[in-house]
Chains A and B, each alone.
Chain A
């Protein structure tokens, strides 16, 4: 049991390592994944400015920072095993003595670290360029909600990674398809309630919706007074989602890995 745990932790850290070191060795990626969201955020912030809704400029900046996490979950978690298959690493992961869950956990850990740096840069740039102001009602609640949101998001990312073992070339398009529609329903750039209460509640199955809504309620107080649910409920739901997605990811991985072995999909490349 102890050996298995040590192996799990070592494999997890080993898989997280290239992502963390990538920040140093491939700084263009930081530039890439910071500059692109900043430009989108700027476009939305300027649109709010043009519409005279100055209060919502900061909303768009928080949405932009959280967009970086969603993109990381999609591309660096969901589609990652697809890339690994194309580059020939997937079979090595499968035959290694460590569990695939440890590989996924490492990907998540490294991805979180990478993206926290990017999100911080987006928020910093938003403050400098647009004079956005954040006044958290509680720093503890802010950090707690943020961590829970990340846990739930990356748990969902682990589920995606397992599901994507089924797909070939269409994985790229599916990941693309999970961008704008999710930005729309999760209220990344406006209060989720704008969608209508029922739609917003349905959209709450995506942790991004509840996470962003809770963060805004904590960060902006009166401006975001009409949140989707009370922050306490949102925290509870995020905690449940975190646990649920991680358990689901473990199950999906077992089932789909077996499926992929049976259908010979573990080594198929370029399709």
Chain B
């Protein structure tokens, strides 16, 4: 156990160094703020444009709904794509994956540590974005004031989120182990698909009916909705999940996380073995 924690700590440390030490700390903080904040402000200006075009016909709660959902989703993207990104960069760019593979540490633990470093970056970005959202007229402050924050549920979702995201990241990292460098497409594609399908920025009922079914099978849907609901309360912006009680949301997130975790273990082990058999650890495809 101690060895596992030590591996996790050092891989986390390495991931954090790679993510952050390319710039001075002050410049890095600026980078961390500007990118997510401008991405979120994009939604604010889209709302503004729609508000003018519809002559004020846009539901006001949609802005806080989309802004907060976008901020929460930063965590999803950071962890899940961070782990497969580590496979590609360590193998293709730095040529280090084969050396990590021959050390006594578990590759899985190493990738989890790298993913958590990305997750911390995503968490900081999300918190900064939410902080900026409280200062800007995006309705976030009003939304928070109208409803008591459900701190217990918030903590619960934030604790359950990382294992779910790490499981997703492990599945992607395992698959990318056996793909060429464009394997990054897979993780970025999954990230974009989840952004579209988990209702981060728009209510799920806007999706075609068959896609709503897909959305309800995705664990990040429940994470985004759970955290958003803990902060803003049940939102009338989303009719599909409006009727769900917190207990039902929790059960859905818990159940899908357990399933995803089991799937991740099986898939990662199979892919790790396959990569070893086919010599993928030092197979670079040109960067």
Main secondary structure of the interface of A (DSSP, over half): helix
- Bound CA span A268–B68, Å: 42
Contact of A47 among B22, B39, B202 (CB under 8 A): B202
- In the complex, the answer to whether B46 meets A44 with C-beta atoms within 8 Å is yes
What 1/0 mask marks residues of chain B from 35 to 48 whose CB sits below 8 Å from any chain A CB?
A: 11011011101111
Known: A43-B196, A47-B66. A195 touches B45 (CB 8 A): yes
Partner pick for A50 among B22, B93, B182, B206, CB 8 A cutoff: B206
**Would B23 and A173 count as touching, CB distance under 8 A?**
yes
Which residues of B in the span 40-69 have a Cβ within 8 Å of any Cβ on A? 41-43, 45-54, 57-59, 62, 66
| Residue A177 CB within 8 A of the other chain | yes
Among B148-156, B187-195, B219-227, the one that faces the other chain is B187-195
Give the distance in Å from the alpha carbon of A176 to the alpha carbon of B81 in the complex.
15
Chain A 73-97 against B: per-residue CB contact (8 Å), 1 yes, 0 no? Answer: 0000000000100110000000000
A184 adjacent to chain B (CB < 8 Å): yes
A122 to B31, CA, bound (A): 30
Chain A nearest CB, measured from B6 CB (Å): 26
Which of A6-14, A52-60, A134-142, A228-236 lies at the binding interface?
A52-60
- In the assembled complex, which residues on chain A have CB atoms less than 8 Å from the CB atom of B206? 46-47, 49-50
User: Which one of B42, B58, B193 contacts A189 once the chains associate, using CB atoms below 8 Å?
Assistant: B42
Chain B nearest Cβ from A80, distance in angstroms: 12
CB-based nearest A residue for B194: A39
Q: Which residues of chain A are within 8 angstroms of B182 by Cβ–Cβ distance?
A: 26, 28-29, 32
Known contacts A31-B185, A52-B58, A83 near B287 by CB under 8 Å: yes
Whether A87 lies near B287 (C-beta < 8 A) is yes
Q: How far is the CA of A53 from the CA of B286 in the complex (A)?
A: 45
Contact B35 A183 (CB under 8 A): no
Query: Which parts of B167-215 form the interface with A (CB within 8 Å)?
Result: 182, 185, 188-189, 192-193, 195-196, 200-203, 206-207
* A contact residues around B201 at 8 Å (CB): 43, 47
Enumerate chain A interface residues (CB-CB to B < 8 A).
26, 28-29, 31-32, 35-36, 39-40, 42-44, 46-53, 55-56, 83, 86-87, 168-170, 173, 176-177, 179-181, 183-184, 187, 189-191, 194-195, 270
25 contacts between A and B (CB under 8 A): A29-B182, A32-B182, A32-B188, A36-B192, A39-B192, A39-B196, A40-B192, A40-B195, A42-B196, A47-B43, A47-B66, A47-B201, A50-B203, A52-B58, A53-B54, A53-B58, A55-B53, A180-B35, A183-B39, A184-B41, A189-B46, A194-B48, A194-B49, A195-B45, A270-B93
